[in-house]
């Protein structure tokens, strides 16, 4: 396999902030390039640097060694569309009525009134491109190039949204811009094709600062890698997929180095939600998907679609030589909601004025200069607009809702018990009461 497969995603999280920056290209030194790489359904425990015993990820491990590794980073939601909406807008997706994974032909999608990270950076003089999975609507008005991206190549939703897993008459097609491409989608070639497109974007957009959002379809099922590398990983075919993502990340990093952009680029690698460990029976309709095709949440409880830690706490690595201290590790609370305001401050962009932003600027965490300004995070489960929990810097109050009666509460000390094994509600009713009130205030804000 010696075709160049690129992978790239740069998210400018930390450039010199320009107080009171106006919309338009920033003056002074060139702001950083942004590469944001997002895997699909990658779990907290799936990388070597996060403790996986058999899957080898040397390039991602090196990325961590050259930058920062976060251990309390949360995708904003535990499922695809909702998480991606929050990542690109800095807003809880429930505010926009997106609570799950959008289906082919859905009338729901990202609205014109929303301001995306791509639009913020484009207004600041950036070239913007997305390669990979979009999943914020596949109808006119909801497409990537209608929401701030200059270019697009990829799938408009998940690679499983075809029979027998999803009943639809809409064929799965790769898109370039607004145009669907002919031919069936080959899952085994997706990571390679995305990587090649990402590398081309980097080569073609060096005259101005650029934002590359590389949104992989893997390791969402059905899994796929080229036959030439199948079976190489000790972690089975899931391991093959993760190790190819690792290779792809390495290709992106190498291209930045060859282009002389390494020190001018903020690279972020993360996941859209936790691993899909509890797939419904319909996903095993044929042998292309088996239970071991799911990843690992490591020491965390739960997985994708749930409000347990394993649903949203995922890997987050960031590198920016000279700005992010090499080899740093932080347990500060950071979420996908925080990417937009952080990058906007770094790039000299302006935050959206028309909508409430739930994210905060966390450059101090990434640069090792101070604690996170975020003091809470609200949990949801897939498809639900009802909050199911809240955490502060230490404690998590989680709610379950029986068919009848009042919600059942549990309290966990995440500093001692990230696996959520021990309910300590009876020992700390005052803490539970404080978190309950904060959750009530948040729920009230959704109706305003």
Within 8 A by CB and 6+ apart from 281, the residues are none
Residues 272 and 42: their CA atoms lie apart, in Å, by: 8
Say how many CA atoms lie within 13 Å of 215 toward its Cβ.
28
Structure tokens given for 434:
């404080």
Specify the 3-state DSSP secondary structure of 60.
Answer: helix
Q: Which of 102, 95, 112 is nearest to 166 (CA)?
A: 102
Cα-atom radius of gyration of the chain, to the nearest Å?
20
**Do residues 226 and 37 make contact, with C-beta atoms less than 8 angstroms apart?**
no
DSSP 301: S
Residues 116 and 43: their CA atoms lie apart, in Å, by: 25
Asked about 428 being catalytic, the answer comes back as: no
Query: What are the counts of helices (DSSP H) followed by strands (DSSP E) for the chain?
Result: 9, 16
52, 135, 147, 216: the catalytic one is: 135
Residues 346 and 11: their CA atoms lie apart, in Å, by: 10
What's the N-to-C CA distance of the chain in angstroms? 54
DSSP 283: G
The number of residues in the chain equals 448
Q: Is omega for the bond preceding 219 within 30 degrees of 0, making it cis?
A: yes
The dihedral formed by the CA atoms of 161, 163, 166 and 170, expressed in degrees to the nearest 10: 60
Asked about 80 being catalytic, the answer comes back as: yes
Residues 130 and 200: their CA atoms lie apart, in Å, by: 12
Residues 172 and 104: their CA atoms lie apart, in Å, by: 9
Residues 208 and 31: their CA atoms lie apart, in Å, by: 9
Structure tokens given for 60:
């991602």
Structure tokens given for 68:
């920062």
CA 195 centroid distance within chain = 17
Residues 205 and 208: their CA atoms lie apart, in Å, by: 6
80, 142, 216, 220: the catalytic one is: 80
**Do residues 110 and 91 make contact, with C-beta atoms less than 8 angstroms apart?**
no
As annotated, the active-site residues are: 80, 135
């Amino acid at each position: 396999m010696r075709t160049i497969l690129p992978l790239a995603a740069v998210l400018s999280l930390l450039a010199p902030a320009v107080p009171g920056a106006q919309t338009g290209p920033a003056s002074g030194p060139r702001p950083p390039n942004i590469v944001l790489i997002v895997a699909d359904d990658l779990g907290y425990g799936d990388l070597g640097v996060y403790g996986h015993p058999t899957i080898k990820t040397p390039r991602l491990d090196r990325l961590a060694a050259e930058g920062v590794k976060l251990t309390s980073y949360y995708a904003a939601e535990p499922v695809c569309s909702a998480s991606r909406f929050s990542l690109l807008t800095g807003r809880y997706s429930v505010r926009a009525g997106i609570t799950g994974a959008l289906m082919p032909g859905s009338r729901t999608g990202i609205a014109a009134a929303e301001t995306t990270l791509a639009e913020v950076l484009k207004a600041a003089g950036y070239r913007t491109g997305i390669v990979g999975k979009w999943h914020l609507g596949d109808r006119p008005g909801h497409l990537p190039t209608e929401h701030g991206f200059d270019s697009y190549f990829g799938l408009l939703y998940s690679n499983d949204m075809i029979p027998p897993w999803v009943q639809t008459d809409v064929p799965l097609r790769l898109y370039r811009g607004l145009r669907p491409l002919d031919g069936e989608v080959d899952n085994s070639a997706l990571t390679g094709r995305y990587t090649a497109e990402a590398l081309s974007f980097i080569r073609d957009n060096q005259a101005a600062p650029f934002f590359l959002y590389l949104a992989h379809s893997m390791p969402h099922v059905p899994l796929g890698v080229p036959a030439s590398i199948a079976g190489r990983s000790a972690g089975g075919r899931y391991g093959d997929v993760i190790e190819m993502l690792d290779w792809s990340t390495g290709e992106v990093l190498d291209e930045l180095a060859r282009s002389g952009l390494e020190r001018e680029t903020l690279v972020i690698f993360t996941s859209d939600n936790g691993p899909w460990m509890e797939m419904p029976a319909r996903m095993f309709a044929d042998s292309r998907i088996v239970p071991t095709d799911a990843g690992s949440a490591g020491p965390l409880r739960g997985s994708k679609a749930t409000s347990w830690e394993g649903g949203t706490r995922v890997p987050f690595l960031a590198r920016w030589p000279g700005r992010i201290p090499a080899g740093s590790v932080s347990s500060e609370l950071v979420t996908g909601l925080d990417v937009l305001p952080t990058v906007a401050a770094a790039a000299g962009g302006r935050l959206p004025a028309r909508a409430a932003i739930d994210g905060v600027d966390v450059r101090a965490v990434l640069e090792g200069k101070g604690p996170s300004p975020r003091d809470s995070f609200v949990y949801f489960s897939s498809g639900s607009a009802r909050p199911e929990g809240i955490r502060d810097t230490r404690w998590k109050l989680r709610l379950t809702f029986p068919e009848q009666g009042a919600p059942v509460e549990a309290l966990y000390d995440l500093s001692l018990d990230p696996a959520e094994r021990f309910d300590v509600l009876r020992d700390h009713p005052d803490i539970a009461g404080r978190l309950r009130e904060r959750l009530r205030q948040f729920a009230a804000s959704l109706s305003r």
